[in-house]
Amino acid sequence: MSSPSSQPSKFAPYKEALAALSQRTRTPLPSLVISFALLHELTAIIPLVGFFYGSRALGIGEGVVRAVAPPQSTAGRPEQGESSGGFLSRFRDTWIGERFREWMVEGEVRAERVGRRYGWFGFEKGSKVNEATAESQSMRAASALVSGRIAGDVANAVVAYALTKTLLPIRVGASLWLAPAFSRAFVQPVGSIFTRVFRR
Cβ atoms of 154 and 108 closer than 8 Å: yes
Name which of 64, 62, 94, 66 is nearest 79 in CA terms. Answer: 66
- The larger pLDDT score, comparing residue 98 to residue 26, is at 26
Residues 8, 12, 17: CA angle, nearest 5 degrees? 150
Query: What's the number of CA atoms in the CB half-sphere (13 Å) around residue 17?
Result: 13
182 has a pLDDT exceeding 90:
yes
pLDDT higher than 80, residue 59: yes
Average pLDDT, the chain: 76
In this prediction, residue 78 carries a pLDDT of: 46
Q: What is the pLDDT of residues 89-137, one digit of tens each?
A: 666 777 777 787 788 878 888 887 777 777 777 777 777 766 555 555 5
Bigger pLDDT: 78 vs 200: 200
Torsion angle defined by CA atoms of residues 149, 153, 155 and 161, in that order, rounded to the nearest 10 degrees: -140
The set of residues, in sequence order, having a beta carbon less than 8 Å from that of 100 and lying 6+ positions away, is: 68, 162, 166
Rounded to two decimals, the pTM is: 0.67
Q: With 90 as the cut, is the pLDDT of residue 47 above it? A: yes
Q: Mark 136-151 as b/e (b = at least 16 C-beta within 10 Å).
A: ebeebbbebbeeeebe
Among 144, 147, 59, which residue's Cα sits nearest to residue 108?
Answer: 144
Instruction: Taking residues 20-40, report their average pLDDT.
Output: 88
